[in-house]
């Protein structure tokens, strides 16, 4: 039987939600990491409150031996630092054991992207004579036009989109709001989908979800990822896709067409410019005009 994680973990995650508004996915990842560390300590006769710097270093070494990637271990250490700072702040610990623990070195792997021709093929893959295919075409167009995260895309509601103004409002990590231009192609396919596809999918059921599933509910990230892979196969695009592939293509193609890195940062919803700098290998010019004049489908 699996043991119940230390209740301090849930207290910390609740505090995170209240103070920083981190997404469910981020908090779930922190819960998994902290629970694994808690179990590892318990198996060795320790616990979270008693763990010192040596225990944390031993755990990092254990993860390395188990084949965990440096990036996931960096995320673990980030969670541990936040957790132990919280314990010190709450008066449960006198000293933070993570203070002299360094992050493992993480390279900056370039995100896998698609060429503009591959994107065109992917966008053209859905059968737009079918309501489901028309929905998928509109979703792919919006995903590429706006560089959204998949979670942001599937959670869009009708009121978040203004076709008249040509923008959508989305809420990214930490519930941070941003406005993103749609571009002419995305607007065209959204109008087509709203006029001819959405009502057929809903079948008379009330919903404010922009892209409902066949059951009239909000689509899951996993379902949309399955749909992307289905259309990628039809477009002749092989392996290497991820749920973020079109987001990476959005950033890469904007930079290729002259967009400024800080503008791409704003459109992607990155709080730190260093997160966006992984795309600088494709930057060839600086931004001179607005998104609609640079984006390949604007």
Provide φ and ψ at 218, rounded to 5°.
Answer: -65, 130
Closest residue by Cα to residue 172 from 266, 73, 238, 259? 266
CA dist 66 and 52 (Å) reads 21
Q: Up-side HSE of residue 147: CA atoms within 13 Å toward CB?
A: 26
- Please give the sequence-ordered ranges of beta strands (E in DSSP) within the chain, or none if there are none: 161-162, 167-171, 177-181
Question: How many residues are given for the chain?
Answer: 298
Helix axes 24-43, 7-20, angle to 10 degrees: 160
Active site residues: 149, 173, 244, 247, 270, 279
Q: Which residues contact 90 (CB under 8 A, 6 or more apart)?
A: none
Is the Cβ–Cβ distance between 298 and 181 less than 8 Å? yes
| C-alpha dihedral (211, 215, 216, 222), degrees to nearest 10 | -30
Q: What would the two tokens of residue 148 be?
A: 């959204």
Helix 53-66 and helix 70-89: axis angle, to 10°? 160
Q: Which of 170, 150, 151 is nearest to 247 (CA)?
A: 150
Closest CA to 22 of 177, 155, 175: 175
């Amino acid at each position: 039987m699996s043991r119940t994680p230390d209740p301090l973990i849930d207290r910390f995650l609740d505090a995170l939600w209240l103070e920083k508004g981190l997404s469910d996915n981020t908090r779930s990842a922190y819960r998994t990491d902290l629970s694994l560390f808690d179990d590892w300590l318990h198996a060795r006769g320790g616990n979270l409150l008693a763990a010192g710097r040596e225990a944390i270093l031993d755990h990092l070494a254990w993860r390395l031996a188990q084949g965990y990637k440096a990036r996931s271990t960096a995320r673990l250490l980030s969670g541990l630092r936040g957790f132990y700072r919280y314990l010190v702040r709450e008066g449960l610990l006198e000293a933070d054991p993570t203070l002299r623990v360094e992050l493992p070195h993480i390279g900056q792997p370039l995100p896998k992207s698609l060429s503009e021709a591959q994107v065109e093929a992917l966008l053209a893959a859905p059968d737009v004579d079918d309501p489901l295919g028309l929905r998928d075409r509109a979703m792919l167009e919006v995903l590429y036009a706006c560089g959204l995260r998949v979670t942001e895309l599937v959670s869009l509601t009708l009121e978040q989109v203004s076709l008249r103004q040509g923008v959508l409002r989305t809420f990214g990590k930490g519930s941070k709001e941003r406005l993103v231009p749609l571009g002419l192609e995305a607007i065209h396919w959204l109008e087509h989908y709203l006029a001819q596809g959405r009502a057929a999918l809903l079948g008379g059921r009330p919903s404010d979800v922009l892209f409902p599933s066949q059951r009239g509910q909000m689509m899951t990230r996993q379902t949309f990822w399955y749909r992307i892979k289905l259309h990628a196969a039809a477009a002749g695009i092989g392996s290497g896709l991820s749920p973020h592939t079109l987001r990476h293509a959005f950033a890469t193609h904007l930079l290729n067409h002259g967009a400024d890195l800080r503008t791409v940062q704003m459109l992607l919803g990155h709080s730190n410019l260093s997160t966006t700098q992984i795309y600088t290998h494709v930057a060839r010019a600086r931004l001179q005009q607005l998104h609609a004049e640079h984006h390949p489908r604007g």
